Structure 1
Amino acid sequence: MTQRCIIVRHGQTEWSKSGQYTGLTDLALTDFGVKQMQRTGRSIFRDNSFVDPANVTYIFTSPRLRARQTIDLVLETLTAEQKANIRIVVDEDLREWEYGDYEGLLTHEIVSLRKSRGLDKTVPWNIWRDGCENGENTKQVGLRLSRAIARIQNLHKISQDNKKCSDIMVFAHGHVLRYFAALWSKKLSVEQKCNDEWERINPNSYKDESVPYIQLDTYRYLDDNPFFLLDAGGIGVLSYAHNSIDEPALALAGAFVPPPEEQSQHEEVPKN
C-alpha cells in the first residue's frame, strides 16, 4: 500500500546533450531521445513491470514540449483504456529553473560571464545558493516546488485513507527534479515562512478540479547543492517510510522493488 512519486526527467535534447542550460527554451527530443524514452516505457510498464498502469493515478508535467513528448513516448505501450484512467495535469510549478541571462550557456560560460560582472570574488558560483541573474533565485524555485509537493502528498494521503495504491508520476527537468527530490523529505532544505505577498499568492499554475490546492504557511528551499544526479531520461522514486505519509523518503532501490518476502519487516516505532 506504499504510495509512490515516480520522477522522470525528459529524454535527450540537443541542449541536454551539449550541456547547455535549458529553461524556457522549448526544444523537442533528439531521435536518440525518442528511442530512449520508448525503451524506458517498455521497460517500466511491460518488460519488467516496475510500474503497474492500474496504480498510476496522476501524471504531473512541466508545460515544456520535451516533457510532454516524453510522456507520450513512455505511455506508448499502454492501452487506450489504461491511458484513460490516468489524469494528466500540466503544472507551471514544474517548469525548469528560469535561467535568465544563462539560458543556452554552458557552465564554464556562466562562470566567465559572472566573473566579467565582478561576481563570485570569494566563493564559486552555486546555482542552488546564488540563483541566476535576471532569472529565478532559489527561494522562488523552492516555493513553487513546495506547492507541487504539497499537492502530490495530499493526493497520496487521500489514497492512503481510502486504502488504495497510488503511483503519481512527475515529468520534468534536471535541475527542478533534483530540487524536488531534495525537498521531498524536508531534511536537506531550509524552512521559510510565507510572509510576503509573492509567497502567499495562489498562482493558478494548473487546471484540474480533482487536485486540491494546498495553501502553504511555510515552504522549503535549498541553500546548497543536494548532490543528486538525474541524467536525461532518468527515473527516480520517492515514497514514504513505514507506509506513513508523515514520513516522506527517498526510495534508494528506485523502481527495482524487492518481492514482499524480502522486504524489511521492521515494525514502526511507536510515537509518543
Structure 2
Amino acid sequence: MGVVTPRCIIVRHGQTAWSKSGQYTGSTDIPLTEFGVQQMLKTGESLFRNNQFLNPDHITYIFTSPRTRARQTIELVLKPLTEEQRSKIRVIVDEDIREWEYGDYEGLLTHEIIKLRKSRGLDVEKPWNIWRDGCENGETTQEFGLRLSRAIARIQNLHRKHQKEGIPSDIMVFAHGHALRYFAALWFKLGVEKKCEEDWELSDLESYEDETVPYVKLEKYRHLIDNPNFLLDAGGIGVLSYSHHNIDEPALALAGPYLTPAEEESYHEPGN
C-alpha cells in the first residue's frame, strides 16, 4: 500500500492537418501543425511544470507509435524535463501501437468512405461500423485488436514486475485516435475474447526492440465488435490504472493525470 498504483498514461498526438480536417490518417506520415506544436508544448508545461500532474521520476517507459506525429509529440511534451530526467525514461518504438491500417480509406472522410462502400455494394443490411467491419484492403478489427492486446499484455507485465519491486511506474503511450480509444476499451476487457488459433494469430512478430521489455506470448486476445463510445481529441490525455492496487483489475482513473496523495485515498472493498 506504500507504493502508488501503476498507471498507463495515453497521449494522442497533437493536431495535424488531417486530424483537423477529419481525414483518416493511418500510415501517412505527416507532422504536427504549428497549432499542434504549441498545443503539446503547453501540455508538457502543464503536466510537468505548472500543475505538476506527473512526476517525471515515476515514468519508467514510453511506448510510441513509429509515426512522426507521435514521436514529435513526445519531444514537445517532455521538453520541461532536464536531460537527466529524460535519460532515465526508456522510449520504445512499437509497431503494435501504430494507427489502424485504413487501406482503401486512407485520407478519406467518413462520408466519402460510406459513399465508396455503397458503390461497392456493401452495407446493404446495416451501416458501416469500423469497430466491427474494419477496412477494405486494410486491417480487420481482429488484426487490430490482436496487436493492441499484445501491447497491453507487455505493459501490464511491466507494471506487475515494478509493483513487486516497489518501483513507482507510470508508463506513457503516445499514439493515435482510433488506436488509443481501442486500446482503452481492451484495457477494460470490452469486446469479445478469441483464442489464438490461426497462423497469423500465433506468429511471434517483433514489433519493438528492447531487451528490458519481455515479450508476452498470448494464448487469447480481445477485439471489439462495436464502438466503445470513447472520445480522445488530438492532444488529449487519458489515464488507465488498476482498482485495489491489483494488476488483474484494470480500471479507468477518472481523475486523469492528477494523483491523489496516499493518505487521502479512500478505501473500497473489492467489487466496489
**Structure 2 unmatched ranges of 5 or more:** none
Partner of residue 59, structure 1:
62
**Structure 1 unmatched ranges of 5 or more:** none
Superposition map of 1:237-248 within 5 A? 237-248=239-250
Say which is worse superposed, 252-261 or 79-88, in terms of deviation.
252-261
Partner of residue 31, structure 2:
28
Partner of residue 205, structure 1:
207
Whole-angstrom CA distance in 2 between matches of 1:209 and 1:257: 30
Cα offsets for 1:17-48 (capped at 9, x unmatched): 00000000000000000000000001011111
What letter matches 2:173 in structure 1?
V
TM-score normalised to the size of structure 2? Answer: 0.97
Superposition RMSD on alpha carbons, in Å? 1.2
Say whether 1:112 aligns with 2:115: yes
Alpha-carbon distance, 1:263 to partner: 2.8
Partner of residue 155, structure 2:
152
Please give the secondary structure, in 2, of the residue aligned with 1:134.
Answer: coil
Alpha-carbon distance, 1:130 to partner: 0.3
Partner of residue 169, structure 1:
172
Partner of residue 130, structure 1:
133
Whole-angstrom CA distance in 2 between matches of 1:56 and 1:65: 22
Please give the secondary structure, in 1, of the residue aligned with 2:45.
Answer: helix
Alpha-carbon distance, 1:261 to partner: 4.5
Cα offsets for 1:42-85 (capped at 9, x unmatched): 10111111110000000000000000000000000000000000
Whole-angstrom CA distance in 2 between matches of 1:152 and 1:190: 20
Alpha-carbon distance, 1:254 to partner: 1.0
Please give the secondary structure, in 2, of the residue aligned with 1:152.
Answer: helix
Alpha-carbon distance, 1:255 to partner: 1.1
Say whether 1:2 aligns with 2:2: no
Alpha-carbon distance, 1:262 to partner: 4.0
Structure 2 residue aligned with 1:195, among 197, 203, 207? 197
Partner of residue 250, structure 1:
252
Alpha-carbon distance, 1:251 to partner: 1.1
Whole-angstrom CA distance in 1 between matches of 2:96 and 2:47: 26
What letter matches 2:222 in structure 1?
R
Whole-angstrom CA distance in 1 between matches of 2:260 and 2:215: 34
Whole-angstrom CA distance in 1 between matches of 2:150 and 2:265: 32
Partner of residue 16, structure 1:
19
Alpha-carbon distance, 1:252 to partner: 1.5
What letter matches 1:48 in structure 2?
N
Whole-angstrom CA distance in 2 between matches of 1:227 and 1:49: 29
Alpha-carbon distance, 1:253 to partner: 1.5
Alpha-carbon distance, 1:266 to partner: 2.2
Partner of residue 182, structure 2:
179
After TM superposition, the runs of 4+ consecutive aligned structure 1 residues lying more than 6 A away are none
Say whether 1:76 aligns with 2:54: no
Whole-angstrom CA distance in 1 between matches of 2:247 and 2:188: 10
2:54·2:258 contact (CA, 8 Å) conserved in 1? no
Please give the secondary structure, in 2, of the residue aligned with 1:239.
Answer: strand
Structure 2 residue aligned with 1:90, among 88, 93, 96? 93
Whole-angstrom CA distance in 2 between matches of 1:258 and 1:207: 34
Please give the secondary structure, in 2, of the residue aligned with 1:29.
Answer: coil
Please give the secondary structure, in 2, of the residue aligned with 1:202.
Answer: coil
Whole-angstrom CA distance in 2 between matches of 1:142 and 1:31: 32
Equivalent pairs counted in the alignment come to 269
TM-score normalised to the size of structure 1? Answer: 0.97
What letter matches 1:168 in structure 2?
I
Structure 2 residue aligned with 1:264, among 260, 263, 266? 266
Whole-angstrom CA distance in 1 between matches of 2:216 and 2:226: 26
Whole-angstrom CA distance in 1 between matches of 2:254 and 2:223: 22
Alpha-carbon distance, 1:268 to partner: 3.9
Partner of residue 37, structure 1:
40
